[in-house]
Amino acid sequence: MNTINNNRYRNILGTISIAKFGVLLIISIISINELLKSPNYLSQIPLNNYVILFIPAFLIITILLWSFSYIHIFKYKNIKNVQIVEDCVFTFMLCILIFLSNTYQSQYKYLFLFSIISSTISLGKKYGLIVATLSSFIIFFIDLFFAPNSRVNIYFENDLMLALGFIMVAWVLGEYKKFESDQRELLESELKEQLRQHDYIEEMLLKNEDCYNLLIKYSYYSIMIHDSEKILYLNKKAIELFGINSLEEMKKKSLTAFYNTDDYKKIKGKYLDIINNKKSAVSFEEKIINNKGKKINVHNISTYCVYGKMPVILTIMRDITPEKQVQKLKDEVKENIKLLNETQQQNRFITEFFSNISHELKTPLNVIFSSLQLLNVYDDEEFIKNRKKYLDVMKQNCYRLIKLVNNLLDIVKYDSGFIIPNMQNEDIVYVVETIAMSIVPYAEDKGIELVFDTDIEEKIIAFDVDKMERIILNLLSNALKFTDRGGYIYISIKDKNEKVEISVKDTGIGIAVDKKEFIFGRFTQVNKSLKRNHEGTGIGLSLVKSFVELHNGEIKLESKLGHGSEFTVVLPSRQSEETKVETEIKDNVIERVSMELSDI
């Protein structure tokens, strides 16, 4: 580092020396030219008439002195003395040229500024101030020499300002030179310390075999030195990793032998990038195939370095195959735990479902059995009087049993893929309106007002009438169950061109936000208690969703706890290939309504 700085310093001084010589040479040529142009010039010079002979001698002396100075700048170790001599010669010759100009208005005196700047740059602030002060005295002396008797010397005043400028330039430039030198010395000291530590570590590793063996040869990690294709060095662990017998065997192989084609292209690109851009600590994961054909996952940390005066890559590899296997096992355990939790939750649903089923089976059977017992107790007259009442009770509970059995059968059929919708072109408005009107008596018995509205009078689309009856009746049944006396149920149909929306909205108890996602789940009920106010198995809405999906439709829910619910069935507005349109509901619709509403 010192050698580099010294050479740079000598080059700067050499450049300044050449510049000074050039300045003096140009001034000398100008002076000779003035002598040759003006015959009376010599008589005006306050020296002897042989001055013209002095000028060539002056040029020769200048050339010799500057040649001596320039050569010895690069030869002598003590450059400072050479520089001082050079500045003295430059100042002396500059003074002679100013005297030869025969005027104190000579512009040559501004060249002292060049001497001040070069001196400050080369030798520092203190020497620069000395040169500036000396140059100022020389200028004052020249003013007094050419105008010794002037009472008012205006040029002396101007030169006084020039002298102050000389000193200020030397001062400011010297401070900057000092600051730059301090910074350079600080950086050089830090760099020397780093180089010292680097040399110490290098010497320790090279000369201390134990440290070398501990850190590299017998390292726990696989260490190798290589370029983008060839391997130059491997430690013991790396030899084991690649499944070879020795480093000599590895040198005969290329890196491409340990990767598949696609992976090697990516890895080679990374290695070339590290070498070309001199990157360090580049970390990534890769998969190698060792000499025995075994695939190994490794974590790779590569950095640019110089080995044998060649740009290479130092790579540290760590076998992470066991970690990958452990992570895979952890993922499998998490997945199994997730499946176990889902299975346990499904088992809870099934348990709750069977509990509800047993309750739903037991309740109507108990009612039927109790009604039969009561009928047996009565005599003929009382039997005839109460027969219709108890027969209606028995019939309603039979409907409940049939509904339950039908729902269970439909679940099994749907899961088995045996339910195929009978798609026919029907008037959806007529079907929905007929079903809505059929439950009016039930709504009136509960004190609930039912409102039907549609924006079209007729809409022919393809759908399964039986399944659509089940869908609408189930939604209306739920609305009746969960709406108190004095409430409303709104049924509406909207034509959306390519779709038809059927909405059933009530002013009932509503559904909590955290329960909405479970409402269409199988065997799921918002209130799972057997002491709830409303009967049901929790499979009705699940079947509704399944039947809607059979029509390639969807069902939506909007609800707020305490403010009612709205179920919207969206069906595609399309027709089947057959052209026959049926617009009547089968005669057993009343029985279907009674069956669907039997648990209200």
List per-block mean pLDDT (blocks of 10 residues) for the chain, which spans 600 residues. 53 63 63 56 48 56 56 53 68 68 61 73 75 76 63 61 76 78 82 78 61 69 86 86 84 82 85 89 88 88 84 89 89 90 79 70 76 70 72 77 79 81 91 89 90 92 90 90 91 92 93 81 56 55 90 92 91 78 56 69
Question: Is 446:486 a contact under the CB 8 Å cutoff?
Answer: no
* Residue 254 CB contacts under 8 Å (≥ 6 apart), including other chains: 229, 230
**What is the reported pLDDT for 73?**
47
Question: Is 117:173 a contact under the CB 8 Å cutoff?
Answer: yes
Cα(290)–Cα(239) distance, rounded to whole angstroms?
10
Strands of 460-463's sheet in order across: 460-463, 424-427, 581-582
Cα(123)–Cα(110) distance, rounded to whole angstroms?
21
Measured over the CA atoms of residue 586, residue 590, residue 591 and residue 592, the dihedral's sign is positive
**What is the reported pLDDT for 46?**
46
Phi and psi, residue 187, nearest 5°: -65, -40
**What is the reported pLDDT for 1?**
47
Nearest 5°: the CA angle 65, 67, 68 is 65
**What is the reported pLDDT for 407?**
79
* Residue 585 CB contacts under 8 Å (≥ 6 apart), including other chains: 431, 434, 435, 465, 469
**What is the reported pLDDT for 65?**
57
Pairing of strands 449-454, 488-495: parallel
Question: Is 571:421 a contact under the CB 8 Å cutoff?
Answer: no
Question: Is 524:349 a contact under the CB 8 Å cutoff?
Answer: yes
Pairing of strands 282-289, 295-307: antiparallel
Cα(15)–Cα(112) distance, rounded to whole angstroms?
17
**What is the reported pLDDT for 42?**
47
Question: Is 442:470 a contact under the CB 8 Å cutoff?
Answer: no
- Taking CA atoms, 363 is separated from 371, 396, 469, 522, 530, in Å, by 12, 12, 26, 22, 11
Question: Is 489:483 a contact under the CB 8 Å cutoff?
Answer: yes
User: What are the DSSP calls for 544-584, one per residue?
Assistant: HHHHHHHTT-EEEEEE-TTS-EEEEEEEE----S---EE--
- Taking CA atoms, 393 is separated from 357, 366, 533, 589, in Å, by 20, 11, 19, 20
**What is the reported pLDDT for 241?**
87
Extract the tokens encoding 94: 């500059």
- Taking CA atoms, 485 is separated from 263, 410, 478, 507, 587, in Å, by 73, 33, 14, 10, 30
Question: Is 287:296 a contact under the CB 8 Å cutoff?
Answer: yes
* Residue 32 CB contacts under 8 Å (≥ 6 apart), including other chains: 55
* Residue 35 CB contacts under 8 Å (≥ 6 apart), including other chains: 41, 42, 52, 55
List the beta bridge partners of residue 225: 233, 314
**What is the reported pLDDT for 398?**
81
**What is the reported pLDDT for 130?**
80
Cα(483)–Cα(38) distance, rounded to whole angstroms?
128
**What is the reported pLDDT for 529?**
45
- Taking CA atoms, 203 is separated from 108, 118, 206, 257, 319, in Å, by 60, 43, 5, 35, 30
**What is the reported pLDDT for 450?**
92
**What is the reported pLDDT for 536?**
52
